[in-house]
C-alpha cells in the first residue's frame, strides 16, 4: 500500500449468518473507497455450525483481487472475542466493525471515514437514532439502546444518542491500545468506556438502519443491555 493511501480495516464477525452473509460481503467488497483511501476486509468466523464458512470462501474465491483475510475460531467464543481476533490482524489506519446481518449499510462507511480524516478525529460513531427515516424492530430494543446511551452520558460526560451502535470507527492504534477484555456483546460499552476515560468526546453521524427480527436471526437479548450498563459502571468506578 502506498504511504499516502489511508487504509480502513473492516472487521466482520460471523456466527451462523448463512442467510445474509453473501449479500453483506458483496456489499462490502463493492464499496468504492473515497479518494486517497482503500480497505481491507477481515472475516472472523466464530465457529459457525451452518454454511457461513462455505459461503465466505466462495465469495472470496470470486474476488481474488480484493484484500480479504479469513480467520476462524475452532470454538465458539463470542462476538467480542471474534473482534479481538480480527483486530490482531488489522493493518489499517482506521478500523470499523461490520455485522454480517445486513442491518447496517456499508455505503455509510465512507462518510464516517471521511469525517475522521477531514476533522483529524480518532473516533466517530454512526447513530441509528439521528436518522429519522430509520425504523426499529422492537420498542424494547429501542428503549434499551436509549437507556444505555443515557447511562453512558451520565457516567462519562458524553452526548451520545446511540452508544450500542455497531458502527464504531476508530483509529486502529487507539483501539488496539485499549487492552480489550470483552468476549461477547459487551465490546460496545467497553470500547466506549475506555475511550471516554482517555478524554475523547465521541462524535456521531446519522446512518441507515434496517433492523431484523428475532425470527430472522437477531441475536442480542435484553440481558445484554443489563450487562452493558454493568460494564459501563465497572469501568467508570474500577481503576
**Domains of the chain by start residue, with CATH:** 6-237 (3.90.550.10)
pLDDT at 144: 80
pLDDT at 63: 98
Nearest to 99 by CA among 199, 209, 4: 209
pLDDT at 3: 63
CB 140 within 8 A of CB 221: no
Which residues have C-beta within 8 Å of that of residue 46, sequence separation ≥ 6? 13, 14, 15, 73, 76, 77, 78, 79, 81, 82
Query: In this structure, how many other beta carbons lie within 10 angstroms of the beta carbon of residue 54?
Result: 12
The three three-digit cell numbers of residue 74, written as one number: 475452532
CB 73 within 8 A of CB 81: yes
pTM here is: 0.92
C-alpha 100/C-alpha 172 separation (Å) is: 21
pLDDT at 36: 84
C-alpha 111/C-alpha 85 separation (Å) is: 26
Q: Digits of tens for pLDDT over the chain (239 positions)?
A: 456 899 999 999 999 999 999 999 999 999 998 878 999 999 999 999 999 999 999 999 999 999 999 999 999 999 999 999 999 999 999 999 999 999 999 999 999 999 999 999 999 999 999 999 997 766 566 778 889 999 999 999 999 999 999 999 999 999 999 999 999 989 999 999 999 999 999 999 999 999 866 555 455 665 667 889 999 999 999 86
Amino acid at each position: 500500500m502506498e504511504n499516502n493511501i489511508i487504509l480502513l480495516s473492516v472487521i466482520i464477525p460471523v456466527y451462523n449468518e448463512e442467510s445474509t452473509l453473501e449479500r453483506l460481503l458483496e456489499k462490502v467488497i463493492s464499496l468504492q473507497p473515497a479518494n486517497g483511501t482503500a480497505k481491507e476486509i477481515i472475516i472472523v468466523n466464530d465457529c459457525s455450525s451452518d454454511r457461513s464458512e462455505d459461503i465466505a470462501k466462495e465469495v472470496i474465491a470470486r474476488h481474488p483481487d480484493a484484500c480479504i483475510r479469513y480467520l476462524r475460531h475452532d470454538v465458539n467464543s463470542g462476538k467480542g472475542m471474534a473482534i479481538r481476533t480480527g483486530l490482531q490482524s488489522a493493518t489499517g489506519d482506521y478500523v470499523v466493525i461490520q455485522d454480517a446481518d445486513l442491518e447496517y449499510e456499508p455505503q455509510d462507511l465512507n462518510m464516517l471515514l471521511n469525517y475522521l480524516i477531514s476533522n483529524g478525529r480518532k473516533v466517530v460513531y454512526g447513530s441509528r437514532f439521528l436518522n429519522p427515516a430509520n425504523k426499529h424492530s422492537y420498542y424494547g430494543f429501542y428503549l434499551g439502546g436509549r437507556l444505555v446511551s443515557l447511562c453512558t452520558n451520565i457516567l462519562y460526560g458524553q452526548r451520545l444518542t446511540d452508544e450500542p451502535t455497531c458502527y464504531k470507527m476508530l483509529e486502529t492504534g487507539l483501539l488496539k491500545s485499549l487492552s480489550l477484555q470483552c468476549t461477547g456483546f459487551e465490546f460496545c460499552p467497553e470500547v466506549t468506556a475506555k475511550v471516554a476515560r482517555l478524554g475523547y468526546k465521541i462524535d456521531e453521524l446519522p446512518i441507515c438502519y434496517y433492523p431484523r427480527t428475532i425470527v430472522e436471526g437477531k441475536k442480542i437479548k435484553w440481558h445484554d443491555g443489563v450487562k452493558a450498563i454493568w460494564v459501563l459502571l465497572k469501568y467508570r468506578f474500577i481503576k
